[in-house]
Amino acid sequence: MAGLAISANDLLLVADVQNDFCPGGTLAVAGGDAVVAPINRLGRRFPHVALTQDWHPPGHTSFASSHPGHQPFDTIDLPYGPQVLWPDHCVQGSPGAAFHPGLDLPHAELVIRKGFRQDIDSYSAFRDNDRRTPTGLAGYLRERGFRRVVLAGLATDYCVRFSAIDAREYGFEALVIEDACRAIAGGDAYIQALGEMRAAGVLILNEADFPA
């Protein structure tokens, strides 16, 4: 294929490349650190880069430890809907919440923090899991004239998926670089996550689709 050109209307949005989502972290994604090299390469080619950072207060509602009797990866009903419970992760200011030390994106223009409200989780870079509390990213993108959001990072089936689908809902083109992402789930759940994104009009491709 001819490949995709990168334009001034594109933003590379790098999802949650944080220590806790990498091997050795409390919510490690298999091969999570393998996204660092392709993201650094892509980052050098995108004039505009933004990062998301999962950023929870201690005792956050998404932590299993906040719900006695529950274990990580249980799903419970919260006022805004079903919520997967996680090990404590990405606690504000902790080493686990810091970006992976190998991430090399000094020209990143924005860090969007999410999940900082005690009682609402946030996978999407655009809005919290209640689907009503915006992060401000859509307004930022519109005001700066970005038209296309190109996503990479962690995790494919959570932050990347919800951010990509919301990008479409907020009126942007959305594109996921699959081999610059890693997922929490595998198998059918992973295939379903990809299918949901495609159904929402998200293009799924790979680093090689951006020719040098």
Which residues form the catalytic set? 16, 114, 159
Site map 42..81 versus ligand VGL, x via CB under 6 A: ------------x---------------------------
Q: Which region among 70-78, 94-102, 153-161, 195-203 touches ligand VGL (by CB under 6 A)?
A: 153-161
Beta carbon nearer to ligand VGL, 61 or 210: 61
Rounded distance between C-alpha atoms, residue 43 and residue 104, angstroms: 8
* 128 is a contact residue toward Zn ion (CB under 5 A): no
* 33 is a contact residue toward ligand VGL (CB under 6 A): no
Beta carbon nearer to ligand VGL, 54 or 128: 54
Residue 178's H or E segment, with its range, is strand 173-182
Which tokens sit at 166? 């919301």
Q: Are 3 and 45 contacting, i.e. CB atoms less than 8 angstroms apart?
A: no
Print burial letters for 77-100: b (CB count within 10 Å at least 16), e (below 16): ebebeebbbbbbbbbeebebbebb
* 54 is a contact residue toward Zn ion (CB under 5 A): yes
Task: List the single partner that 123 binds among Zn ion, ligand VGL, none, CB under 5 to 8 Å by kind.
Answer: ligand VGL
Strand, helix or coil for residue 130: coil
Interface contacts to Zn ion, rule CB under 5 A: 54, 115
